[in-house]
Homo-oligomer: A and B are copies of this chain.
């Protein structure tokens, strides 16, 4: 689980910059004999792609995945699956004005210092375009865990928070609005807020909640591969994420054990689920739910004073096509990473008892 690779048995190794010829990767460890639903895979990419609605970046990318190996007559062969997603709409000139400039709260300065060289166009390897690779990986992973349901939605845009318990929500409405919030009234407010922010040339943070249902008991590994630790690491890999909590999360810090403990029913389920479906790092069969915190996008359509590589303070004007709020497009990304973690854990679990 290192650097450009994620997972142990279900593994993805990725490459690509937003302004190269293509991005892509290698998916390894997929069991053989699985029939892939290519249309469904493309639908996931479409849910993430830029230009899909009025409240996201207007960069247009078809984001069509091409599978190059590991599949024969529609089924996985057990061989590694190579894939690419061509970059069709890179406008490198959009980035000429920031050549040699370190944008505030971007990775420009840290990458330049770390590597001594940098592809400045579109953020290079730090671009969130990488997340399209993960959606491919997650969509393939989902085929390994067909019975597990993974549902993410936007639960916060700026100060607008959807605090309702997820069980009161109608998940079938998530895709009804561009913001992917299942509470349609709240969705409307969120969309208005995003439009407003964009008009200001500003950006805003948000939250995504994810619910995983129908998980068998026993997924997750001791000590450093606890199910929630792996989910947390995965989510923290998404650009702009600043926090992760599962079950009662930060609220549990104020609770007593007598309030928080989930009492058993006789069938092994629990009366409450404050724990969030995981005990000792291992799934207990109850719903897993977690929340991911996204900071506002750093690229503003406003003027900012910043530093360049020559150590001079310079004026920088906002240009290019960017998201005023990333959470609507983050929803399929969160689901995809969760699918990869669970597929990995399911494969590992097959080796755990004799």
Contact = CB atoms under 8 A, between A and B. Distances in A.
Given A17-B79, A276-B242, A117 B295 contact: no
A266 interface: yes
Residue from the set A17, A29, A159, A223 with the largest chain B CB neighbour count within 10 Å: A223
B279 A110 contact: yes
A313 B233 CA distance: 37
A54 interface: no
B114 A217 contact: yes
A282 B207 CA distance: 23
B117 A72 contact: yes
B125 A77 contact: yes
Residue from the set A206, A252, A259, A295 with the largest chain B CB neighbour count within 10 Å: A295
Residue from the set A9, A220, A253 with the largest chain B CB neighbour count within 10 Å: A253
A230 interface: yes
Interface string A216-227: 011011111110
Contacts of A21: 66, 68-69
Residue from the set A247, A268, A312 with the largest chain B CB neighbour count within 10 Å: A268
A293 interface: yes
Residue from the set A250, A260, A281, A284 with the largest chain B CB neighbour count within 10 Å: A250
A224 B105 contact: no
A297 interface: yes
A1 B224 contact: yes
Interface in A226-248: 226, 228-230, 232-234, 236-237, 239, 242-248
Nearest to A105: B261
Interface in A259-297: 259-266, 268, 270, 274-276, 278-284, 293-297
Interface in A294-347: 294-300, 302, 304-307, 311-313, 347
A220 to B, nearest CB: 8
A63 interface: no
Q: How large is the interface on A (under 10, 10 to 19, 20 to 34, 35 or more residues)?
A: 35 or more
A167 interface: no
B261 A77 contact: no
B115 A351 contact: no
A335 to B, nearest CB: 17
A295 B255 CA distance: 7
Residue from the set A105, A206, A232 with the largest chain B CB neighbour count within 10 Å: A105
A125 B6 CA distance: 22
A59 interface: no
A224 B279 CA distance: 25
B294 A253 contact: yes
A82 B224 contact: no
B257 A202 contact: yes
A69 to B, nearest CB: 4
Interface of A: 1-6, 8-9, 11, 13-17, 20-26, 28-29, 31-34, 66, 68-70, 72, 75-82, 84, 102, 104-107, 109-111, 113-119, 124-126, 130, 144, 156, 158-159, 197, 200, 202-207, 217-218, 220-226, 228-230, 232-234, 236-237, 239, 242-250, 252-266, 268, 270, 274-276, 278-284, 293-300, 302, 304-307, 311-313, 347-354
Given A5-B28, A23-B82, 12 more contacts: A29-B351, A33-B354, A104-B263, A105-B257, A109-B279, A110-B220, A110-B280, A205-B252, A229-B236, A264-B313, A268-B307, A350-B351
